[in-house]
Structure 1
């Protein structure tokens, strides 16, 4: 979910493992020449999700830490590609904590339909995160260091999956 810490934790995890880090939100911005919110505003939600899927499916890497956008789960082919690249983990954060963390929901580039709330988004996406993830890591109330340690435990020494 947006606000779960994917990008920040991903950078720290990549450092801890000595691996490259890829943030697909940045990849989308580079490919499209627009900020995420601009892409949503100018082209709409479906075009945003299509651009995200294309960016993810363009990845051809191994032994890397990838932080996909929270809406990656909205496109099955994107998630199948991520799973083919390695383990997929879900940073599970309860809705009330996400609501406290996110204060710029209308300008942050979150893939939401007009009128949709963060609660609506959570209700729709949480089952998809559970479906596509190889493991869920509960990180409610954790510091960044605790979250990285929990992710390392969830990987259980099986990372990198392929070299």
Structure 2
């Protein structure tokens, strides 16, 4: 991938539903590109000294989303970095504007059918959702936002990690040419 003059804008930010492979593919993409890797959920846990589930239990979903938005909007990196975000990052307009400023936002898209196969139970997986909200409700709500913020969209259905990483690299090269 060609580097721009400002390396702080060379970052790759991965968004998408939980279970789509943001962290797994992100680590491999970072190795291939020679980038650093950062998991924004771990940044939140480190700054608060609490697990995400503890934050949600104490603050509620709205409180968690506000905290997630604030912390993500303050992420800074000194070297090109692949940043894997939590699935709910798209509820934070400040965070998404910040990520857009510092790099390319890559949406790892998955079909609802594949998502149900991978995820199973929302609560057991620790997926942020409102009481009574089904996985299908959450999927429909979030996909619109993922598409809104994405600079690049990668269809993950039927792709193993290697094919997904290659598709991301191709998407980033195409974006750099335009």
TM-score in terms of structure 1 length:
0.92
How far 1:107 moved relative to its partner? 3.4
Residue 141 of structure 1 aligns to a residue in which SS?
A: coil
8 Å CA contact retained: 2:61, 2:130: yes
How far 1:141 moved relative to its partner? 1.6
8 Å CA contact retained: 1:36, 1:108: no
Aligned residue pairs total 159
How far 1:43 moved relative to its partner? 1.6
CA distance in 1, matches of 2:71, 2:167: 28
Aligned to 2:54: 38
Aligned to 1:105: 122
1:18 aligns with one of 31, 34, 37: 34
Written as runs of structure 1 = structure 2, the 5 A alignment for 1:13-162 is 13-61=29-77, 63-156=80-173
8 Å CA contact retained: 1:19, 1:65: yes
RMSD: 1.4
TM-score in terms of structure 2 length:
0.85
4+ residue runs over 6 A deviation: none
Bigger fraction of residues in strand: 2
8 Å CA contact retained: 2:70, 2:94: no
